[in-house]
Structure 1
Amino acid sequence: MAPRKKAKRRFGTTRQLPSGAWQARYTGSDGQRHKAPHTFPTKTAAEEWLVETEADLLRGVWIDPDAGLIPLEEYAEQWIEERGLADRTAELYRAYLRNHISPYLGDVMIGDLKPPRVRSWRATLLNHTGESTVAKVYSLLRAIMNTAEDDELIRRNPCRIRGAGQARTPERPTATLPEVFAIAHKIQPRYEALVLLATFGQLRFGELMALRRADLRVPATGSPVVKVRSAVSQLNSGTQMLKAPKGSEAGVRPVTLPEAIAPELRRHLKHYAEPGDDGRVFVGPKGGTARRSNFNRIWKRALRESGANPELHLHDLRHTGGTLSAQTGATVREVMKRMGHSTTRAAMIYQHATDERDAKIAEALNLMITEARAAADEAEKDPPAA
């Protein structure tokens, strides 16, 4: 009886190298010959890998192993370039890449970036970088690798740490109304209206710097209205540029202001704003647009002289205004509109009840309960006639 011939593999081939390790080769869906990205200690291990690779081909999820042979830094730079990002955002992402990603992962091929490497990188960052920054950097890497997955350069995004992209920043303080007016009184007179607009109009610093006379309407009687149309953005180089406000379409908004601050706004327009509809509402003593670094010195001095919370930032006045709006009974959508938010997530923080508001709610509930019980007692004392 003739000996049985050994069945030939119907997919791929294996061979033993001079080192003793085994290599697997196969034909991909692109019609090209490929070899496994690594060798195997045994022939059985190589054949098992070929079985898994064939299954991937049959399911249509096979990824060309050579496609991921791009250094992460190179791919990330290309990713930033192709996004069409605002200059300030692109600058921020490049800083994250330069300072937090490239020194650790920049030369790693994106196809070789696996979850254990990502976990190790993040743990290293947390040892010397704030948790909020690490969350933002991790979110950037995850977004880059999502695109690599969409481009079919990798099979699956290796950034899979649950909650790692959520920044847990401590809640910022809000100013009390007495603090707001104390700061407005003590700050340089040309910036008194800025403090009031930051609070009661919930405007950001860049939005305030971009305001023109035509954007601020202060009638003789009734409520003033400010129209947010743009914002001044400052790059790390010091260059200032005009751009759309944060939140795209939602950022462009009219905000109705309390009539009580109209006198301060009229005084500002009369003495400090540039003339003409296109004149800037806020200018420095020498006619320039205030920069954050210069304004912060003025702001800190006003905090000291007013006795306000020294930890307050100008941006905290925006949060103060949002909280006050919510306390008037404004809905989430109404708060979103005033603040230029495009999603409910940010606006929801202003719906958190303060102790004072919580007490008023309890008082109202108490009144409802008391009235209901009184009505029930009356009905029990005086039942309806049969």
Structure 2
Amino acid sequence: MAGKRRQFGRVRKLPSGRYQARYVGPDGLLRPAPNAFRTKREADGWLADVQTELRQGDWRDPDAAKVPFEKYATAWVAERPLARSTQELYGILVRVHLAPTFGRLSIADVTPAAVRTWRLARLDAGIGPTAVAKAYSLLRTIMATAVADGLIRRNPCQIRNGGTVTTPERPTASVLDVFAIADAVQPRYRALVLLGAFCALRWGELVALRRRDIDVDAGMIRVRGSVSELNNGSRIYKAPKSEAGKRSVAIPRSVLPVVVAHMKQFAEPGADGRVFVGAKGATPRRNHFNGLWHKACKTAGITGLRFHDLRHTGNTLASQTNASTRELMTRLGHSSTRAALIYQHTSAIREREIADGVDTVILEALKRRGRPKGHARDTED
């Protein structure tokens, strides 16, 4: 009796004794399995899986995923509508962190195990956790596009929180610390320090300010964009990442006289004149200012404080004013509640005020109800 004729694919026994499975794909090409099978049953099972994929519309062209990772990743970065600084960062991450390991592999050969091994090796080699997290996040995003393109079925980046890194709590300068640094720095940068702290402006936003952006009569600063420095030394002006970044920030009244004096003495003339310029008339560079910053901090007796930490100070102070989450988001220039909630939750002074308020309610309720038996607080401390 003749055996039952196969309806899908073909299986043949090789001279080695193993079995080869082949099938005709939707494109009409005869496609072999990527490897031979030990038994005929295993070959039949593989063909059954392929047939199920075809019926469910999950079939992937195995040749499409043979594109080398480096070629695919480089094209991915080039094709994205990214800011120049972001495009430059992604290019470095691909070239320095991803290509040395995955560059010659095909997209299909980047497996979860390979990703885990790569990440651990980078960390063991002493690469900073932040750099590794950024590289992993980029790898995950690139491979997600490969899934969307139909090259692979599943993203191999499966490490939980692999793209996040826990950074130590940054120091918060006190109001007196900020003024001490402002008094110690070169006079032309005094207003920059105060605005960085008490208006919570970023470095790039500060050096991008023009005269037309500051209304001294109303005491308001309009943030329109920022200056970004590229690795090759060039600088570009860019709009905020989101509409929330375009905002108006009020200047504290105690700081306004310093700003007015700065505009008269140091800012360039004309509505388009730059508010902050160096001694030689150029837009201040971050690396040059850092030297002046460290010198001023040393004079003021303050250590371990970065200029960007001034923004942390300003945001923390704002969180202590009973500002709502939406109000903090507006002042910070964020489109999500995450950053605002961080400052609301990490303000120790405000947290104590809230806790004390809750404690007052508890004590008043206990007085009206009568102290429960066995209550620990029978006497005042």
> What is the Cα deviation at residue 370 of structure 1?
4.5
Aligned to 2:375: none
User: What do residues 320-366 of structure 1 show as CA deviations (whole Å, max 9, x unaligned)?
Assistant: 11111111111221111111111112222101244433332233234
Distance in 1 between the 2:90 and 2:249 partners? 32
Match of 1:321 in 2: 314
Q: Which moved further from structure 2: 317-326 or 163-172?
A: 163-172
Report the equivalent of 1:166: 164
Is 1:6 matched with 2:22? no
Give the C-alpha shift of residue 56 in structure 1: 0.9
Deviation per CA, 1:157-206: give whole Å up to 9, x if none: 11111111112222221211111111111111101111111112111111
Choose which of 21, 24, 27 in structure 2 pairs with 1:24: 21
Instruction: Write the mapping of 1:54-133 to structure 2, written as runs, cut at 5 A.
Output: 54-128=51-125, 129-133=127-131
For residue 255 of structure 1, what is the amino acid of its counterpart? Answer: V
- Structure 1 residues 325 and 20, CA gap change in structure 2 (3 angstroms): same
1:242 pairs with one of 232, 237, 242: 237
Q: Count how many residue pairs are aligned between Structure 1 and Structure 2.
A: 369
Q: CA RMSD in A?
A: 1.6
Q: How many angstroms apart in 2 are the aligned matches of 1:49 and 1:165?
A: 35
In structure 2, which of residues 287, 290, 303 is the aligned counterpart of residue 293 of structure 1?
287
- Whether 2:255 is the aligned partner of 1:258: answer no
Q: Could you tell me the percent identity over the aligned residues? A: 51
**Among candidates 200, 205, 208, match of residue 207 of structure 1:** 205
Which deviates more from structure 2 when the two are superposed, residues 99-108 or residues 340-349? 340-349
- SS of 2:295's equivalent? helix
Which of 346, 356, 367 does residue 363 from structure 1 map onto? Answer: 356
Counterpart for residue 268 of structure 2: 274
Structure-1-length-normalised TM-score = 0.92
Cα separation, 1, equivalents of 2:95 and 2:168 = 26
Q: What is the distance in 1 between the residues matched to 2:93 and 2:316?
A: 32
1:228 to 210, 223, 232: 223
Task: State the match for 2:374 in structure 1.
Answer: none
SS of residue paired to 1:227: strand
CA contact (8 A) 1:197 1:203 kept: yes
User: Residue 68 of structure 2 contacts residue 106 of structure 2 at CA under 8 Å; is this kept in 1?
Assistant: yes
* Partner of residue 37 from structure 1, selected from 17, 34, 56: 34
Task: State TM-score, norm by structure 2.
Answer: 0.93
- Aligned ranges 1:303-318 → 2 under 5 Å: 303-308=297-302, 310-318=303-311
Q: What is the rounded CA distance, in whole Å, between the counterparts of 2:366 and 2:200 in structure 1? A: 43
Q: Check conservation: 2:316, 2:347, Cα contact below 8 A.
A: no
TM superposition shift of 1:373: 5.2
In 1, distance between residues paired with 2:77 and 2:136?
Answer: 15
| Deviation larger for 343-352 or 175-184 | 343-352
Shift of residue 120, structure 1, vs aligned partner: 1.0
How far is 1:77 from its partner?
Answer: 0.3
Whole-angstrom CA distance in 2 between matches of 1:367 and 1:169: 35
Does residue 1:345 correspond to 2:343, yes or no?
no
| Residue 330 of structure 2 is aligned to residue 330 of structure 1 | no
Q: SS of the counterpart of 1:94?
A: helix
> Residues of 1 paired with 2:31 and 2:359: CA distance?
75
> Hey, what's the Cα distance between the residues in 2 that align with 1:328 and 1:139?
36
Report SS of the residue matched to 1:352. Answer: helix
**Separation of aligned partners in 1, 2:310 and 2:139:** 32
Name the SS of the counterpart of 1:314 in structure 2: coil
Which whole-Å CA distance do the structure 1 matches of 2:13 and 2:86 have between them? 52
Residue 254 of structure 1 aligns to a residue whose secondary structure is: strand
Q: How many Å apart are 1:16 and its aligned residue? A: 2.7
Aligned equivalents of 2:112 and 2:367: distance in 1?
Answer: 64
- Identify the residue that residue 378 of structure 2 maps to in structure 1: none
Aligned amino acid, residue 202 of structure 1: A
What letter matches 2:20 in structure 1?
Q
2: CA distance, partners of 1:124 / 1:20: 40
2:155 aligns to what?
157
Deviates more, 1:359-368 or 1:84-93: 359-368
Partner deviation per Cα, 1:180-233 (whole Å, 9 max, x = no partner) = 1111111111011111111121111111111000101111xxx51100001111
**Does residue 284 of the first structure (1) align with residue 278 of the second (2)?**
yes
| Matched residue type, 1:286 | K
Distance, in Å, in 1 between the alignment partners of 2:298 and 2:350 is 29
Aligned mates of 1:106, 1:347 — CA distance in 2: 40
Q: Which runs of 5+ in 1 are unaligned?
A: 378-386
Which residue identity is paired with 2:82? L
